[in-house]
């Protein structure tokens, strides 16, 4: 009888201990466009539009990342568990450490930090890596971000061959759009006239001109009206996406134009 009472008390204590235990807190790294597994490694290829938010092969993979702290029941972790945890960010990941600090200081029922932009550089033609580490009283973990060099090495390009002939002549310089004799919006993109009509010239659109845009602003893709129209990233009143007829230009084509503008929009020099 005495042994039976002891056994019953032990069982009750064990149940109470389990019931009172805090659920395990796990970190999940959520990177847009990258599969959840493997959990401790996130890999992107430079210029891959599914995961590189810049969508350009410039030697940098730009990720959009949030840190999620959840229990097995998919609930948010307990505050005391988060207070005892720290995040150490490698080069390019500093925004994640800041996001975690802000997350702890204003903890709500949400399980994830605000998504932030981080970046990982390639090492020329070699893979680049940087690491995020988490420290707590219970465990230490490492999360590796990998940037693979672009599959397409960009050969030297020229305006005449790669912009005018390959892009403008086949998509923009048509009789119904910006060809010789039509020049919609006073933008003449015919061969021999397009460069002078674009580079350093204010757009005809009043809202775009008021915003300080140029059709092509040498060295400044983000303030180049032609590129914004091709991307469809226009502000209200700045007109419609180009081309008006047919599907948008492929990302690789738009990237060629962006690289040309970023290189200073040279007329004859390679870029």
Beta bridge partners of 31: 65
**Model-level pTM?**
0.50
Residues 181 and 245 in one domain: yes
Residues 224 and 194 in one domain: yes
Residues 81 and 191 in one domain: no
Residue-wise pLDDT tens for the chain (271 aa)?
443 433 333 333 333 333 345 678 888 999 999 988 888 999 999 988 889 988 778 889 999 999 999 888 888 888 888 888 899 999 999 999 999 999 988 877 788 999 999 999 998 889 999 999 999 877 889 999 999 998 754 557 899 999 999 899 888 755 555 545 555 557 888 888 999 999 999 999 999 999 999 999 999 999 999 999 999 999 999 998 888 777 888 988 998 999 999 999 999 998 8
Is residue 2 one of the residues assigned to a domain?
no
Domain boundary among 148, 179, 209: 148
Is residue 16 one of the residues assigned to a domain?
no
Domains of the chain: total? 2
Range of the domain at 187: 159-262
Residues 176 and 123 in one domain: no
Residues 179 and 201 in one domain: yes
Is residue 87 one of the residues assigned to a domain?
yes
Residues 66 and 120 in one domain: yes
Is residue 190 one of the residues assigned to a domain?
yes
In 3D, which of 83, 139, 138, 144 has the Cα closest to residue 118? 144
Residues 121 and 101 in one domain: yes
Residues 48 and 143 in one domain: yes
DSSP 88-143: EE-TT-HHHHHHHHHHHHT--S--BPPPEEEEEE-BTTB-EEEEEEEE-SS-EEEE
Is residue 91 one of the residues assigned to a domain?
yes
DSSP 214-250: BSB-TT-GGGBHHHHHHHT-PPTTS---S-SSSSPPP
Domain boundary among 124, 148, 172: 148
Residues 72 and 95 in one domain: yes
Domain boundary among 113, 148, 183: 148
């Amino acid at each position: 009888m005495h042994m039976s009472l002891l056994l019953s008390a032990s069982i009750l204590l064990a149940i109470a201990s389990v019931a009172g235990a805090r659920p395990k807190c796990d970190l999940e790294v959520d990177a847009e466009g990258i599969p959840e597994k493997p959990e401790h490694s996130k890999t992107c290829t430079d210029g891959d539009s599914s995961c590189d938010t810049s969508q350009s092969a410039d030697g940098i993979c730009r990720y959009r990342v949030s840190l999620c702290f959840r229990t097995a029941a998919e609930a948010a972790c307990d505050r005391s568990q988060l207070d005892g945890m720290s995040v150490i960010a490698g080069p390019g990941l500093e925004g994640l450490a800041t996001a975690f600090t802000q997350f702890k200081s204003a903890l709500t029922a949400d399980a994830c930090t605000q998504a932030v932009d981080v970046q990982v550089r390639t090492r020329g033609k070699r893979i680049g890596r940087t690491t995020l580490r988490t420290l707590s009283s219970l465990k230490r973990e490492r999360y590796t971000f990998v940037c693979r060099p672009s599959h397409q090495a960009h050969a030297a390009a020229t305006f005449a061959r790669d912009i005018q002939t390959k892009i403008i002549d086949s998509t923009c310089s048509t009789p119904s759009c910006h060809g010789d004799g039509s020049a919609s919006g006073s933008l003449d993109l015919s061969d021999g006239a397009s460069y002078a009509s674009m580079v350093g010239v204010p757009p005809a659109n009043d809202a775009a001109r008021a915003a300080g845009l140029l059709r092509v602003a040498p060295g400044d893709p983000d303030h180049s009206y032609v590129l914004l129209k091709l991307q469809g990233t226009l502000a209200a009143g700045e007109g419609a996406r180009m081309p008006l007829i047919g599907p948008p230009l492929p990302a690789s084509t738009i990237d060629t134009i962006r690289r040309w503008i970023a290189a200073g929009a040279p007329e004859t020099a390679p870029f």
